Amino acid sequence: MVSSELVTDRRQRPLQVLRLSLTARCNLACSYCQPDHREVSGLLSQSQRLALIEACCRLGVRSLRLTGGEPLLSDQLEPLLEAIRLRRQQPGDPLSQLEEVALTSNGLLLDQARAERLRRAGLDRITLSLDGLDAGVVAAMAGLPEVGEAGSRALAAVREAIVVAREVGFDPRLGALKLNSVIQRGRNEDQLLPLAAFARDQGLELRLIEFMDVGHRNGWSGDQVMPAAEMLRQLQAVWPLEPLGRPAGGTARRWRYRDGAGVVAMIASVSEPFCSDCNRARITADGQLFTCLFASTGLNLRPWLQPHPDAESLVVALRDHWSARIDRYSEERSLQVQTDPERADMAYLGG
């Protein structure tokens, strides 16, 4: 019998956050992600997903984020959330250790009824994505036709998703509703201040993300990265800020607006790497474990999941793989970017 334990890797980083992908499909084709709209074969079953969540909780995971692709495309999202909710309520169940269950979505499918179902099923937090407030920019960033109404419809859908998420109880004042924006030089850097003004008006924490070299199809180059320091200077010139820092294991460095209009955050994986305390594991929709967002290959977990999950062997496999982890790609980017093999794409990894 394998007992519960806290596991650390070779750099003494604990396993605390699990990002579990439900699908590789997406209804957008964002320039920084470039999904191919195809589903992977061999999607995990609900029992397999729950077995993976349980094994990770036994090794120290306290935060679960459900991702895609676009997770709202999965018809298994609500049943999985409900199963997790019931187990979180059981004293002694490994899932009772989960402090939060979160979701990352582009918001296009989040209407009132869906938001209510997600809330009832036990979802604690939603992070929505929006990369501009100009319809043409939204279309360009999302891979939509730049002529016609596609950009306007997408922008309206995300705005409405923010409204309905708040109405059903995802309170941004409690951190239960946030907004992600990737800022890419040459594409949407002119949207930085409008997005910040919008988030301030909505009472949302805006998380500004540097354009990252995830995968091999987004045409990444360093000159397209708008560093967090530059974003901060532009914001400071309009709205004075005071630093709140970055919590251990967190991805975002946060600042408070001095006028009391909320918080803004930066995820600066390129210019200010945070590999030193990275505590996140990613499991793809077909059961591959990745211990770095920039990895090329993962560990296939299916041998411990089929024909039925083997709980004890699964814990051992996860523990051994995490214990051997040495990943710190962002800190070594300048040495590796020219020689790395093709890396897994963001839509497959779950971002």
CATH of the domain at 156: 3.20.20.70
The per-residue pLDDT for 348 is 85
H/E segment holding residue 102: strand 100-105
What CA–CA distance (Å, rounded) separates 137 from 130?
10
> Is there a domain that residue 310 lies in?
yes
Phi/psi at 189 (5° precision): -65, -20
Give me 302's structure tokens.
């299916």
What tens digit of pLDDT does each residue of 250-283 get?
A: 999 999 999 999 999 999 999 999 999 999 999 9
Domain with 98 in it: 17-349
Domain count along the chain: 1
> Is there a domain that residue 332 lies in?
yes
> Is there a domain that residue 234 lies in?
yes
What CA–CA distance (Å, rounded) separates 123 from 66?
10
In terms of Cα–Cα distance, which of 80, 56, 66, 77 is closest to 20?
A: 66
What CA–CA distance (Å, rounded) separates 107 from 127?
9
> Is there a domain that residue 225 lies in?
yes
> Is there a domain that residue 11 lies in?
no
In terms of Cα–Cα distance, which of 126, 112, 33 is closest to 71?
A: 126
Q: Are 123 and 81 in contact (CB under 8 A)?
A: yes
pTM: 0.95
> Is there a domain that residue 1 lies in?
no
> Is there a domain that residue 199 lies in?
yes
For the chain, how long is the longest CA-to-CA vector?
Answer: 61
The per-residue pLDDT for 339 is 53
> Is there a domain that residue 9 lies in?
no
Give me 188's structure tokens.
């949407």
What tens digit of pLDDT does each residue of 136-175 get?
A: 999 999 999 988 899 999 999 999 999 999 999 999 999 9
pLDDT-flagged residues of the chain (< 70): 1-4, 334-341
Other beta carbons within 10 angstroms of residue 306's beta carbon come to 14
What CA–CA distance (Å, rounded) separates 160 from 13?
39
The per-residue pLDDT for 2 is 44
In terms of Cα–Cα distance, which of 71, 81, 67, 74 is closest to 116?
A: 81
